[in-house]
Amino acid sequence: CPKGVAVRRRRIQGAVLLGVAVLALGLVLVAWLGPQSLERQRLLLGTFVQVKAYGADPEALERAVADAIAEVERVGQAFSRVGPGALGALNRAAPGEAMALPQEVWDLLERAQALGAQSGGAFDVKLGALADLWGFAEDWDGTGRVPDQAEIDAFLAAPRGLELLPGGRARRLGAATIDLGAIAKGHAVDRAIAVLRQHAVQAGLVNAGGNVRVFGQVPEPVLFWSVPRPFQVGVQHPRRPGEVLGGLTLEAGQGVATSGDYQRYFEADGLRHHHVLDPRTGRPARGLISSTVVAPTATEADALSTATFVLGPQAGLALVEALPGVEAVLVDADGRIWVSSGLDAARFTF
């Protein structure tokens, strides 16, 4: 009967209105309570540092990001090879003289020694004097010089050692000056991620000059809720500034780092002389123009990107394949791209 139809229609209208109201309230709640993000950037460690955090509490985000940036700055100062910190002091002490180091510095030196051994010596933190010969000071000014072969030969011929002694002490031997430039930024990123985790935030990303680590997953707002999706980072194209070579999908907690010949270099005699040095030749490593490594921590990613860069495509990939949880995207001097076996199309697209 018509009366029954009218009542039903009114009920349906009522239900639709209620639905719309609930939806609107839900959207307001998502905007109000749902995950927000905060990103800050600073120039630190001679590079561009970016910290991003996601969470529901804007004040917690502010504190988390500020503390993480302060941590990157602290680590940068503590691990300077010429500054007033412990590493600078070790480098100024006479060779053979044992020095007490803060636990954090001793631990990173031990990690660096282990990675040096794993890489067959390609990663070598005892090359500070060689970097100076090429003009790659820590606060590099964009210039450089090609040393005479005799200077390089003299450096290569001199013994170089770093001895880690019990009780947190260490001494350097011979021509070794300690340069943690290829691992300290990764360590700073790992420390900053640890600081972010201590705050009431859901997820975060720290990037120090291409040394990245994430924690958690990006909360992507969907209607009333948020759905976590993995962090994605772009791999810089080594020859086209501002363009990406491809995109990497990171698993929660992973680190990634790129070493390239396109950031710190000078040109002389028609050659590009960059700052990653091959300890076998005493000259900038040839063979690769970019090396990106994904690893469980930013510290390992940083050191291994430098190690693979020195080793070149075949030996570099062999090293990566032998290490669990480590993957790489290498670009050789002819522009060919080498991808390790664990990076399927779902994790690296180009």
**CA gap 37, 173 in Å, rounded:** 48
- Is 300 a binding residue for Mg ion by CB under 5 A? The answer is no
Burial of 25 (C-beta count, 10 Å sphere; 0-12/13-18/19+): exposed
Contact present, 231 and 250 (Cβ < 8 Å) = yes
Candidates 73, 86, 93, 95; CA nearest to 168 is 86
The separation between the first and the last C-alpha atoms of the chain, rounded to the nearest angstrom, is 65
Which parts of 143-202 interact with Mg ion (CB under 5 A)? 182
Which residue, chain included where needed, has tokens 């940068």?
Answer: 76
- Is 71 a binding residue for Mg ion by CB under 5 A? The answer is no
Give the rounded distance of the alpha carbon of 321 from its chain centre. Answer: 20
- Identify which range of 7-15, 62-70, 298-306, 339-347 contacts ligand ADP by CB under 6 A: 298-306
- Is 305 a binding residue for Mg ion by CB under 5 A? The answer is yes
Closest residue by beta carbon to ligand ADP: 181
- Is 185 a binding residue for ligand ADP by CB under 6 A? The answer is yes
Tokens for 117? 């051994």
The smaller minimum CB distance to ligand ADP, of residues 54 and 134, is found at: 134
Which parts of 120-149 interact with ligand ADP (CB under 6 A)? 123-125, 127, 131, 136
Instruction: Say which amino acid occupies 320.
Output: V
The smaller minimum CB distance to ligand ADP, of residues 24 and 271, is found at: 271
Candidates 350, 346, 304; CA nearest to 328 is 304
- Is 255 a binding residue for ligand ADP by CB under 6 A? The answer is no
- Is 78 a binding residue for Mg ion by CB under 5 A? The answer is no
- Is 44 a binding residue for ligand ADP by CB under 6 A? The answer is no
Question: Which x/- pattern over 306-335 shows residues binding ligand ADP (rule: CB under 6 A)?
Answer: x---x-------------------------
For residue 98, report the phi and psi dihedrals to the nearest 5 degrees: -80, 140
Q: Least CB distance from residue 217 to Mg ion, whole Å?
A: 26
The smaller minimum CB distance to ligand ADP, of residues 65 and 257, is found at: 257
> Which residues are CB-contacts of 240 (< 8 A; sequence separation ≥ 6)?
none
**Partner from Mg ion, ligand ADP, none binding residue 127, C-beta < 5-8 Å depending on class:** ligand ADP
- Is 261 a binding residue for Mg ion by CB under 5 A? The answer is no
Cβ count near 321 (within 10 Å): 14
Which one of 80, 202, 254, 306 is in contact with Mg ion (CB under 5 A)?
Answer: 306
Q: How far is the CA of 148 from the CAs of 126, 134, 157, 241, 268, in angstroms? A: 20, 10, 14, 32, 13
Which parts of 209-228 interact with ligand ADP (CB under 6 A)? 209-211
Which one of 72, 233, 277, 293 is in contact with ligand ADP (CB under 6 A)?
Answer: 277
**CA gap 261, 113 in Å, rounded:** 24
- Identify which range of 119-127, 190-198, 235-243, 342-350 contacts ligand ADP by CB under 6 A: 119-127
DSSP class of 177: B
Instruction: Say which amino acid occupies 130.
Output: L
User: Which residues are near ligand ADP by CB under 6 A?
Assistant: 123-125, 127, 131, 136, 179, 181-182, 185, 209-211, 259, 263-264, 275-277, 279, 302, 305-306, 310
List of residues contacting Mg ion (CB under 5 A): 182, 259, 302, 305-306
